[in-house]
């Protein structure tokens, strides 16, 4: 027994004692391969999963490193069976390989014949494979490259894809680093992606994921399709590429609800790509409109199902996923792994904060009590109505007002889910509101006014969760969200993390109704904060005056 902060259990759970002096080092060491499940005050629970271990393997971590980490930080003897299981699970990745054969084209090869025999007999791969070439190799129908990788992952034998990529249509793209330079981690991220050929880069909001995309484009020197969450994000990408690379405005096309331009670099929204007419997706043709050399998926954790289906047919193209978190609320992380590619680079938020590239953040949960009249309505409501009732209590308006007053002169965002609540807050605070029905032109005007300091307080719906560049924001007050969404928590905190003048700290408040599902969902969202090493305090609304 040593004095480590970790207890490793045979059911593959890891218990981390948060207050231990080595807890921060341990959290950082296990983050590449373990997923945080629960994060109450004193003991955080992580779990080892096959997908987590395979992602770590693909990112360059081997079983020996994982085992050494568990042994170094564990307080008690680590169960031997678990160590064996870790080694065996990680060894499954790459036992099967997709390769290009000069005669037979795409093939599935293995140096472990029993594994190949096992998967050849699985119903999941029937129809995807062609003739048996020899004892260790079988032909694969080229169009099934993506579907086969999905099927093999589900069978527990993830294939490593060495089949290569087409270069696509050549197009000169260079980084213009006269007034700026890629940061070391941005360069490492782009190089890790390029070396792997396809995959996902995980970086905090505000850490310059767009520049990693630009660096990958400069490596590819080819026509590029960039898929983004919304039109505002598309225009920010365009502005950034014009500013940071040799590309001109004429070389970059926007493909959205209002504009349909196909150019050497085309930026399309997920929304337009998944618009359905008479049972078909007419705009998915864009994926074949040019001989793309690179496809970039911004906010890859939000990738809609139809894009997954089409990506299965794009396996010969280089694919880069960018995200602040690999967590998907629909549980389709395995599809990201199979179809976009494994995690190639992951920089812990706290590391980038320590380097001064993102601001430190103070995370506070403010708890309010529902008034008796509202408690009765809540208690007798249908389950699906309860979250809205708890989230939208009028008591939160007074708390928001108090928090805004406690940060005078600091650019503040008030973020929520329910439009009626946001309209009410905007009226009470005498602040402009941005919601789904706000036109793109008006959104851009208000975001620009906020950046310039003309507007110091903005009420926003979830349209501001994604890819909106608001570097001046110093305070965010969250009143309601998408239930227990960790990915949303990542986006909302990320709005605040651009470095502040004089190294000021960002403030992230979540107002929660105690003894309701609002509090339960908040607990799930906080898992994200704990994953990234952020401490969060819980205060009572009544004590806010003392806090401020």
Tell me the pLDDT tens digit for each residue of 352-372. 877 888 777 888 889 999 988
Q: Say if pTM beats, i.e. exceeds, 0.85.
A: no
Report the pLDDT averaged over residues 97-102: 94
- In whole angstroms, what is the distance from residue 8 CA to residue 307 CA? 39
In terms of C-beta density within 10 A (0-12 exposed, 13-18 middle, 19 or more buried), how is residue 245 classed?
A: buried
Please name the residue ranges forming H helices in 93-230: 113-120, 145-154, 184-196, 209-220
Report the pLDDT averaged over residues 239-267: 94
Q: How confident is the model at residue 89, as a pLDDT?
A: 96
CA-based Rg of the chain, rounded to a whole angstrom?
24
Report the pLDDT averaged over residues 532-536: 69
Q: How confident is the model at residue 35 (pLDDT cuts 50, 70, 90)?
A: confident
Select from 112, 149, 109 the least CA-distant residue to 128.
149
Residues 280, 286, 292, 294, Cα dihedral to 10° = -80
The residues, any chain, with a CB within 8 Å of residue 62's CB and separated by 6 or more, are 90
For residue 488 the two structure tokens come to 């949303």
Select from 367, 362, 375 the least CA-distant residue to 519.
367
Q: Which of 168-177, 299-308, 385-394 has the lowest mean pLDDT?
A: 299-308
Q: Are 108 and 98 in contact (CB under 8 A)?
A: yes
pLDDT surpassing 80 at residue 271: yes
C-alpha to C-alpha distances, 251 to 224, 242, 263, 302, 464, nearest whole angstrom: 11, 9, 6, 27, 28
pLDDT surpassing 90 at residue 192: yes
Please, what is the Cα angle at 259 between 255 and 264, to 5 degrees? 45
Report the pLDDT averaged over residues 290-295: 95
pLDDT single digits (tens) 437-481: 888 889 889 988 988 889 999 998 876 655 466 767 889 898 887
Write out the DSSP string of 375-400.
HHHHHTS-HHHHHHHHHT-THHHHHH
Torsional sign, CA 309, 314, 315, 319: negative
Q: How confident is the model at residue 427 (pLDDT cuts 50, 70, 90)?
A: very high
Q: How confident is the model at residue 97 (pLDDT cuts 50, 70, 90)?
A: very high
Q: How confident is the model at residue 532, as a pLDDT?
A: 67
Bridge partners for 108 per DSSP: 98, 138
pLDDT surpassing 90 at residue 320: yes
pLDDT surpassing 90 at residue 95: yes
Q: Are 263 and 253 in contact (CB under 8 A)?
A: yes
Q: Are 324 and 205 in contact (CB under 8 A)?
A: yes
What's the chain's average pLDDT?
Answer: 87
pLDDT surpassing 70 at residue 547: no
Please name the residue ranges forming H helices in 143-183: 145-154
pLDDT single digits (tens) 49-79: 999 999 999 888 999 999 999 999 999 999 9
Bridge partners for 161 per DSSP: 98
In terms of C-beta density within 10 A (0-12 exposed, 13-18 middle, 19 or more buried), how is residue 407 classed?
A: middle
Bridge partners for 34 per DSSP: 48
For residue 426 the two structure tokens come to 């905007």
Q: Are 107 and 140 in contact (CB under 8 A)?
A: yes
Which of the two residues, 528 and 374, has the higher pLDDT score? 374
Q: How confident is the model at residue 521, as a pLDDT?
A: 77
Report the pLDDT averaged over residues 181-205: 92
Would you say how long the chain is, in residues?
Answer: 548
Q: How confident is the model at residue 204, as a pLDDT?
A: 80
Q: Which of 37-41, 198-202, 453-457 has the lowest mean pLDDT?
A: 37-41
Q: How confident is the model at residue 179, as a pLDDT?
A: 83
Q: How confident is the model at residue 513, as a pLDDT?
A: 92
* Residue percentage of the chain with pLDDT more than 90: 51
- In whole angstroms, what is the distance from residue 51 CA to residue 72 CA? 23
């Amino acid at each position: 027994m040593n004095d480590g902060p970790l207890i490793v259990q045979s059911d593959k759970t890891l218990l981390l004692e948060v207050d231990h002096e080595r807890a921060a080092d341990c959290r950082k060491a296990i983050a590449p391969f373990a997923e945080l499940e629960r994060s109450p005050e004193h003991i955080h629970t992580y779990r080892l999963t096959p997908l987590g271990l395979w992602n770590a393997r693909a990112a360059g971590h081997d079983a020996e490193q994982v085992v050494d980490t568990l042994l170094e930080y564990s307080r008690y003897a680590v169960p031997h069976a678990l160590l064996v299981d870790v080694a065996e699970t990680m060894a499954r990745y790459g036992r099967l390989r997709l390769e290009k054969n000069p005669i037979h084209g795409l093939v599935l090869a293995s140096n472990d014949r029993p594994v190949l025999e096992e998967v050849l007999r699985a119903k999941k791969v029937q129809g995807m494979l062609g003739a048996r070439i020899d004892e260790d190799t079988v032909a694969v129908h080229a169009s099934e490259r993506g579907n086969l990788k999905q099927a093999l992952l589900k069978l527990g034998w993830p294939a490593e894809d060495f089949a290569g990529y087409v270069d696509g249509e050549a197009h000169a793209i260079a980084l213009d680093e006269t007034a700026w330079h890629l940061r070391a981690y941005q360069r490492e991220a782009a190089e890790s992606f390029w070396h792997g050929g396809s995959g996902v880069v995980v970086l905090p909001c505000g850490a310059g994921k767009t520049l990693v995309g630009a660096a990958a484009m400069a490596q590819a020197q080819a026509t590029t399709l960039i898929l983004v969450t919304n039109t505002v994000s598309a225009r920010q990408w365009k502005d950034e590429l014009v500013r940071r690379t040799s590309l001109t405005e004429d070389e970059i096309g926007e493909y959205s609800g209002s504009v349909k331009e196909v150019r050497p670099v085309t930026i399309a929204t997920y929304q337009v790509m998944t618009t359905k007419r008479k049972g078909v997706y007419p705009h998915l043709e864009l994926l074949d409109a040019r001989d793309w050399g690179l496809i970039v998926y911004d906010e890859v954790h939000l990738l809609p199902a139809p894009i997954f289906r089409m990506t299965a047919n794009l396996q010969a193209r280089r694919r880069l996923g960018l995200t602040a978190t690999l967590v998907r609320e629909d549980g389709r992380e395995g599809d990201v792994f199979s179809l976009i590619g494994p995690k190639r680079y992951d920089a812990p938020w706290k590391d980038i904060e320590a380097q001064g590239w993102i601001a430190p953040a103070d995370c506070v949960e403010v708890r309010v009590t529902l008034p008796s009249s509202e408690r009765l309505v809540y208690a007798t409501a249908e389950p699906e109505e309860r979250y809205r009732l708890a989230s939208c209590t009028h008591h939160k308006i007074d708390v928001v007002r108090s928090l805004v007053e406690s940060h005078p002169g600091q650019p503040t965002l008030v973020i929520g889910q329910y439009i009626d609540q946001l309209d009410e807050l905007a009226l009470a605070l005498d602040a402009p509101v941005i919601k789904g029905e706000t036109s793109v032109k008006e959104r851009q005007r208000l975001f620009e006014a906020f950046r310039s300091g003309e507007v110091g307080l903005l009420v926003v719906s979830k349209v501001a969760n994604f890819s909106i560049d608001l570097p001046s924001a110093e305070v965010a007050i969250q009143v309601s969200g998408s239930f227990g969404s960790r990915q949303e928590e990542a986006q909302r905190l990320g709005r605040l993390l651009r470095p502040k003048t004089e190294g000021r700290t960002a403030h992230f408040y979540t107002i929660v109704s105690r003894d309701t599902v609002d509090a339960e969902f908040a607990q799930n969202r906080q898992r994200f904060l704990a994953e990234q090493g952020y401490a969060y305090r819980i205060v009572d609304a009544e004590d806010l005056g003392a806090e401020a």
